[in-house]
Amino acid sequence: MPEVWILGVRHHGPGSARAVRDELHRIRPDLVLVEGPPEADDLVGLAADPGMRPPVALLAYVPGEPARAAFWPFAQFSPEWQALAYAAGAGVEARFCDLPAAHALALDADPVRRDPVGELARAAGYDDPERWWEDLVEHRGEAGTLDVVAEAMRAVRDGHVAEGVEARREAYMRRTLRKAAREGYARIAVVCGAWHLPALTLPVLTLPVLTPSAQTPPVLTSPAQALPVLTATGRRARGPGATVPEGAPGGSGRPPSAAEDERLLRGLPKVRVEMTWVPWTHGRLAAGAGYGAGVAAPGWYEHLFTAPDRPVERWLARAAAILREEDLPVSSAHVIEAVRLAEGLAALRGRPLAGLSEVTEAVRAVLCDGDEPKVELVQRRMVVGERLGRVPEATPMVPLRRDLRDEQRRLRMKPETLTGEHDLDLRRPLDLGRSRLLHRLALLDVPWGTPRRARSKGTFKESWSLEWRPELDVALIEAAVWGITVEAAATARVRDLADGAGLPELAALVERCLPAHLPGALPYVLARIEDRAALDGEVRHLMAALPALVRARRYGDVRGTEGLADVTESMLARICAGLSPALSGLDEDAARAMAALVDGVHAASGLMGDAGPTGAAGPAGGGRWLTTLAAVARRDDLPGLLDGRVVRILFDADALEDDVAARMARSMSPGNPPARSAAWIEGFLSGGGLLLVHDPRLLAAVDAWLTGLSSQEFADALPLLRRTFGAFPAPERRMIGRRVRSGSALRSPEPGGEAGADVDEGLAAGAVRTVREILGRETGGRP
C-alpha cells in the first residue's frame, strides 16, 4: 500500500502555496494528484515550458458550442500551480483528479455553497474574511499552515452532507485516489481545496494516510474551537492527512464505500470537450469578477508570495515607483514615513504584520496626500494588478488563434490587459495592417480594439483603445468555424451576414468591409445590395441605406467600389420619386425617424454632387434632391417637425422659394396648435441655434410667437421648446439670451435695410481686415 498525504489548501492562497511547495519537497512523492479536470493530463507537461508564465487557465469547451466552456485558473501563488511546478521540476508524474469536464459541462452548475473562511472569520469576531486570513495564515508563515487549516475545515464541515455536483466531484476524487493506490505508486500527494479534505481522508479508503507532525491536539467540533489552534504560535495540529474515526466528533457520519461512489458516478451525462491553456489575468482572479474561488486582492497576494521578507517596505516602494512614473513627487522620505504609519496602525490593531488595509491607508495619507484618484491608480496597478499570462508555442490552439498570434507578431501588436490608446496613420503600411486586423476581428465579434475619435482630422487617421481580455480566447474559438485565418474567417462571416441582411444592414456591412480590406467579401456584398435595391420598394429602407453606400463610394476604385456609383444614383432617383407619398400619415415618432432619414439623404446627396441650388448643373443631374424637397415644402399636411426641417435644409441651400421669415410667421401663426408650432421650431433649429443669433428677423418672429401664447399654450409647448433649446451648446444659448435682453435685436430691419445693420463696423474692422488678408485681398486702407 502506498503512503498518502492529502494537502488541503485555499485556492490562490500564498500561504497555502508556500506550505505545499515546502511539504512536497519534504515528502518527495512519486505521484501528485491536483484538483482539476483529468482531460488536461496531457497538458500538464507544458507547465515546465519556459514559455509558460502564470496567470494562465485551463480552458475546456464543447466543439461546435464554444459558449459552453469552463476555466480553471492558476496564478504563481496558487497551491495547485506550485504542485505542478514541483512535479515538473522533480520529474514525477502529475495528474488531475476532479470530475471530468465532459461531465461537469453536461451537468447543472453547483449551487451557491457555504463560505468556510467567512464562517471561521465571523467566529473569530472579524467582519472581513480576507483580513482574518491574512492575520492567521498569510502573515505568520508557520510550518503548520496546512495542519491547522485542515483541522479547522473539518470543524466547519461537521454535519455537512455533499449533494449534487459537489457529491459527484468528491466521489470521483476518491475513485482517482483508489485507482492510483492500485497502480503501485509508493508515495502519493493530493492537493485539493481544504473544503474537500474531510471527504478524502475517510477510513473507507483503507490507505495509510500520513501526517507531517507527531503532536496531535484534541479533535475540533466547531469553528470557535478551531481558533485557539490557529492562533497558537508554533503549535502543531493534527496532520492534514490524518483520518477522523467514523462517528467521532468532526466526522461526517458513515463514509461512502467504493461501490456507493461508483453508483453515484454511473450514468452521468457527458459531452465531448477539448482543452487547452489560455492566458489569464489577475483581474479575472478577483472575487469581484464573478470567479467563485477568487480572492479580493490578487496583486497583493502575489506580492506576499514573491516577497516573504520585508513585504510592507517592498510594497510601498513599488507604490512610490508607480506614482513617480506619473510624474508625481514621491521621495524616499515619503516611503519611510509610510512604512512607519503602516506598522504603527498594525500594532494599534493587534495585527502580526501590516496588511492590505494598513498599507492602503499609508499610501493614501503619506504618498498621495489624500488624493483619491492617485490612490485608485495604485489600487488598480498593484492591488488587483492587471498582469496577463503567457502560454508556450506548443500549446494546442485552434488554427484561427495561431494565425492571430502570428499576425500580432508580424504587426508588433502585443496583447495587454491594461487599456492602451493607439493612434494609427493609415499612410504607413504597418499601421494600415494593424487597422485591417482590428476591423477583421470586430467582424468576428472579437472586440480587441474599440474605435475612438481621432485626435487629428483626416481620413488617414484612426484611433483605437486596445484591451485583451481572457474571454476573447473563447470568442476566437467560436469564430473558428468561419476559417483558419483571420482574413478567411472574416470573409466567410461577412458573406454569411450578407445572405440574411436587409438593405440598411448590407449598407452598414459595406462600411465595415472596406477598412477590413476583404476583397473576397466586398464584391459579394455589393451584388447582394444591387439585388435588394432592385426589389425593395420601401423608400425608408432606401433612405437608410444610401448614406453608408455613398460614404463607401468615396474610397474609389482602389477599394473595389466602382459598382457603387450606379447603385447609389439609382437609389437616389427612387428615393426622390417615392419621398412625397412616404411623408403622408406620419405620427410624431414616425416623423422624427423620417426627419433623421431626410438629414442622412441630404448629406449623402451633397457627397454625390447633388445638393447644389435648384437648376444648377452637377454630376448627378443638378439638384434633383433639392427639387424634390422644394415640392414637398409646398404641402400643408406635413408634421411640424418635418416641415421645419425641410424648410431649414432649403434655406441653407438657398433653394427656398419664399421668404424664410414669412414662412416661419405662417407656421407659428395663432391658427396653428402650439404643439405643432413648437415641433416646427424644433425641426427648423435642429441644425443649431446660431441662425437665431445672426438673423434678427427669425429671432423676432420666435419671440413674437412665444410672447403671444397664453399660459396654457405655453405650458403645452414648453417640453418641445426645452428639448430644442437644450440641445444648443451653452455659448449659443448665452448669445441668444443676450440678444433677447438687448431688445434692439428683436426689431425687424427697415424695408430695404439689411439684417444685422446694427453691427458696429469699428469693432468688426480688425476681424474683417484679418479675413481679407487670409483671402489674399488688398485692404486698400479700408476695413
Q: What letter does residue 101 receive in the DSSP assignment?
A: H
* 496 grid coordinates: 454569411
* 55 three-class SS: coil
pLDDT of res. 11: 85
pLDDT tens per residue across span 162-175: 888 888 999 999 99
Burial readout 316-334 (b: 16 or more C-beta within 10 A, e: otherwise): bebbbebbeeeeeebeeeb
43 CB neighbour count, 10 Å cutoff: 18
Pick the residue with more confidence: 197 or 567? Answer: 197
pLDDT surpassing 70 at residue 223: no
User: Residue 353 gets which letter from DSSP?
Assistant: S
Task: Return the closest-CA partner of residue 375 out of 332, 417, 338.
Answer: 338
| Sheet order of strands, 187-193 included | 3-9, 187-193, 31-34, 93-96
Half-sphere exposure of 539 (CA within 13 A, CB side): 18
pLDDT interval class at 241 (50, 70, 90): very low
Residue 458: band (very low, low, confident or very high) from pLDDT cuts 50, 70, 90? low
- How would you list the strands of the sheet with 274-279, edge to edge? 65-74, 56-62, 274-279
CA 706 to chain centre: 48
Residue entry with cell 432649403: 650
What pLDDT score does 660 carry?
75
Q: Is the dihedral of CA 736, 741, 745, 746 positive or negative?
A: positive
> How many other β-carbons are positioned within 10 Å of the β-carbon of residue 270?
14
- Structure confidence at residue 687 (pLDDT): 65
Beta bridge partners of 423: 463
Higher pLDDT, 192 or 66: 192
**671 φ/ψ angles, rounded to the nearest 5 degrees:** -70, -15
Residue with cell 476559417: 483
- The Cα 168–Cα 185 span in angstroms is 25
CA geometry: angle 387, 81, 264, nearest 5 deg: 120
Instruction: Please tell me the distance from the alpha carbon of residue 144 to that of residue 71, in angstroms, as a whole number.
Output: 31
Give the model confidence (pLDDT) of 85-103 as tens digits: 999 999 999 999 999 999 9
> At 622, is the secondary structure helix, strand, or coil?
coil
CB contact set of 598 (below 8 Å; sequence gap of 6+): 543, 629, 642, 645, 646, 649
Please give the single-letter amino acid code of residue 739.
R
pLDDT at 694: 72
Q: Please tell me the least confidently modeled range out of 108-117, 131-140, 372-381, 731-740.
A: 108-117
pLDDT of res. 287? 53
* Per-residue burial over 437-458, b = 16 or more CB atoms within 10 Å of its CB, e = otherwise: bbbbbbbbebebbeeeeeeeee
**131 alpha-carbon distance from chain centroid:** 30
pLDDT surpassing 80 at residue 215: no
Q: In what order do the strands lie in the sheet with 420-425?
A: 420-425, 461-466, 449-452
The segment with the largest mean pLDDT, out of 220-229, 466-475, 486-495, is 486-495
Q: Which grid cell sits at 209? A: 494516510
**CA torsion sign, 204 to 206 to 211 to 214?**
positive
Residue 224 pLDDT level (bands cut at 50, 70, 90): very low
Q: Tell whether the torsion through CA atoms of 78, 83, 88 and 93 is positive or negative.
A: negative
The answer to whether 305 and 493 have CB atoms below 8 angstroms apart is no
Is residue 5 within 8 Å of residue 29, measured between CB atoms?
A: yes
CA nearest neighbour of 586 among 516, 513, 683, 496:
683
Q: What is the DSSP string of 292-327?
A: TT-BS-HHHHHHHHH--SSHHHHHHHHHHHHHHHTT
588 pLDDT above the threshold of 90: no
Whether 172 and 339 have beta carbons less than 8 Å apart is answered as no
DSSP 582: H
Q: Is the pLDDT of residue 250 over 60?
A: no
Task: Report the distance separating Cα 6 and Cα 150, nearest Å.
Answer: 10
* Residue 707 confidence class, pLDDT cut points 50, 70, 90: confident
Residue-level pLDDT at 746: 53
pLDDT mean across residues, the chain? 78
Query: Is 80 exceeded by the pLDDT of residue 193?
Result: yes
Q: Is the pLDDT of residue 745 over 70?
A: no
The alpha helices in 464-538, defined as continuous H runs, are: 471-479, 486-499, 503-516, 522-535
Q: What is the mean pLDDT of residues 627-649?
A: 85
Q: Which one is predicted more confidently, 229 or 133?
A: 133
pLDDT of residue 443: 93
Largest CA distance in the chain: 114
Cell numbers that stand for 311 in this block = 513585504
| Dihedral pair phi/psi, residue 747, rounded to 5° | -80, 125
* Residues 281 and 470 sit within 8 Å (Cβ to Cβ): yes
Q: Are 11 and 193 a contacting pair, CB within 8 Å?
A: yes
The string over 157-184, giving b where at least 16 C-beta atoms fall within 10 Å of a residue's C-beta and e elsewhere, is bbeeebeebbbbbbbbbbbbbeebbeee
Phi/psi of residue 248, each to 5°?
A: -80, 160
Burial 398-418 (b: 16+ CB within 10 A, else e): bebbbbbeebbeebebebebe
The Cα angle at residue 315 between residues 314 and 318, in degrees rounded to 5: 85
pLDDT on residue 686 = 77
Highest mean pLDDT among 398-412, 562-576, 765-779: 398-412
* DSSP per residue, 456-473: S-STTEEEEEE---THHH
Give the long-range contacts of residues 565-572, CB within 8 A, separation 24 or more: 567/526, 567/529, 567/530, 567/533, 568/604, 568/608, 569/608, 569/620, 570/533, 571/533, 571/542, 571/545, 571/546, 572/546, 572/601, 572/604, 572/605, 572/608, 572/610, 572/620, 572/624, 572/625
Beta bridge partners of 187: 3
Residue 249 scores a pLDDT above 50? no
Which pLDDT belongs to residue 255? 65
Confidence label for 43 from pLDDT (cuts 50, 70 and 90): very high
513-527, 554-568, 688-702, range with greatest mean pLDDT? 513-527
Per-residue pLDDT of 99-122, as tens digits, reads: 999 999 988 655 556 777 788 878
Per DSSP, the residues of 216-283 read: -PPPP-SHHHHHHHHHSTT---S-TT----TTSTT--SSPPPHHHHHHHHTT------EEEEEE-BHH
Angle between helix 539-553 and helix 522-535 axes, rounded to 10 deg: 150
pLDDT over threshold 50, residue 388: yes
Determine if the peptide bond prior to 55 is cis (ω within 30°).
yes
Residue 261 · residue 167 · CB < 8 Å? no
Of residues 326 and 622, more confidence is placed in 326
| pLDDT (0 to 100) of residue 560 | 45
Which pLDDT band, with edges at 50, 70 and 90, does 146 fall under?
A: confident
Count of CA atoms in the C-beta half-sphere (13 A) of 285: 31
pLDDT band at 292 (very low <50, low <70, confident <90, very high): low
338 contacts 363 by C-beta, under 8 angstroms: yes
Mean predicted confidence (pLDDT) in 407-423: 83
